[in-house]
Amino acid sequence: MKMLVEESGQGSAELILLFGGIIVVAIVALIAYKNYLNGLGSGINGSQLNETTNAIQGLKDLFA
């Protein structure tokens, strides 16, 4: 009977470990994704950004 009482918190401990593992995997994925996105930022220059902004503005005027 004493063994049953000692195992009552096992489910909670397993859930804490599971959520901890998921959080660690998510943090690693976010760091890798951040490094990937930082490399893309240098490929966009100001003229491309202005062209895209003007195209979006033209679509807005067309539908307004």
Kindly report, residue by residue over 9-48, the tens digit of the pLDDT.
788 889 999 999 999 999 999 888 887 777 666 666 667 7
Q: How many domains does the chain have?
A: 1
Please tell me the distance from the alpha carbon of residue 36 to that of residue 52, in angstroms, as a whole number: 22
User: Which residue range(s) make up the domain with 39?
Assistant: 1-61
For residue 62, is pLDDT > 90?
no
List C-alpha distances in Å: 57 to 4, 34, 40, 47, 60. 68, 29, 24, 15, 5
- DSSP readout, 27-46? HHHHHHHHHHHHHHHTT--H
Written as one letter, the residue type at 33 is Y
**Is-above-0.75 flag for pTM?**
no
